[in-house]
Amino acid sequence: MAIITLTTDLGHKDFYLAVLKGSIYTQLPDVQVVDISNEVADFNIAQAAFIVKNSYTYFPKRSVHLIGIDCDYTSKGRYLAMAYDGHYFIGADNGLFSLFLDGEPTKMVEIDIRPDSRSQHFALKDIMAKAACHLANGGLLDSLGKQTQKMEEKKLLQPVKELSLLKGSVIYIDAYQNAITNITFSLFNEIRAGRSFQIRFRRSESVNKISIHYNDVPEGEKLCMFGISNHLEIAINKGRAASLLGLRLNEVVAIDFFA
């Protein structure tokens, strides 16, 4: 069965998500529509990129991933469809793709679908959903538009590496208020080189060990671990770390290494 995933900022309060799904099912009744997340913060392409990057690989190859963030129709706007890592991705050319792709797409096209005059403000439904259904139904990328190698580039803030210091920042706060940083497991091990360490963050808090499970510490105690994203996260067992520890997006997290 063909799969189309949705990552959007449409939420569940209004009828917009229902319109999008209804449009997809009308075009392709047998498709399976899977919500990755429809609660992305408004227009937050960095958050959407993090969510997609850490979820798409768990879907079967040839799944179509529709990413509807900051994609309102404009006469100068571009919408891209691409093949990458055995999957298809569709979204606005707003820098989103450059934030989660680790390499060049196998093939990429600029979508050439004109919006319906009645709903041209809703490009997610009227342009991108049509492209997603075309691919999910076995259609070719080349049928959607001309090939292109150009996409808007955006850069995320990268950790600062020194001999005995690694300084990163909080890039994502999940529903449990775990604060996830831009420090990856591989980067941590590269700088650590077997040394002891201390992880420092807001309010003079610190942790000097890496936990494997949230339950490695008593309830209410803070911990640091590398979760399913392989990024360092700061958490509280059965607690809400971000609010209790005062951690916000872009908050600095530093790791000191000792000989």
For residue 121, the model assigns a pLDDT of 72
CA-wise closest residue to 66 among 129, 137, 135? 129
Q: Which CATH superfamily is domain 160-258 in?
A: Bacterial fluorinating enzyme like (2.40.30.90)
For residue 99, the model assigns a pLDDT of 94
For residue 120, the model assigns a pLDDT of 60
For residue 114, the model assigns a pLDDT of 81
> pTM of the prediction?
0.90
- Please identify which residue in the block is written with the tokens 């995320």: 156
Separation CA 48–CA 90 (nearest Å): 13
Q: At what angle do helices 129-136 and 16-27 cross, to 10 degrees?
A: 40
In which residue ranges of the chain is CATH 2.40.30.90 found?
Answer: 160-258
For residue 204, the model assigns a pLDDT of 85
Between the alpha carbon of residue 208 and those of residues 9, 87, 224, 225, the distances in Å are: 37, 39, 9, 11
Question: Is there a contact between 195 and 255 (Cβ–Cβ < 8 Å)?
Answer: no
CA-wise closest residue to 109 among 129, 131, 94? 131
In which residue ranges of the chain is CATH 3.40.50.10790 found?
Answer: 3-147
CATH 3.30.70.260 fits 3-147, yes or no: no
Q: Quick check: helix, strand or coil at residue 205?
A: strand
For residue 151, the model assigns a pLDDT of 94
Per-residue pLDDT of the chain (259 residues; tens, 9 = 90+): 899 999 999 999 999 999 999 999 999 999 999 999 999 999 999 999 999 999 999 999 999 999 999 887 666 679 999 999 999 999 999 999 999 999 999 999 999 988 776 656 788 888 999 999 999 999 999 999 999 999 999 988 899 999 999 999 999 999 999 999 999 999 999 999 999 999 999 878 899 999 999 999 999 999 999 999 999 999 999 999 999 999 999 999 999 999 7
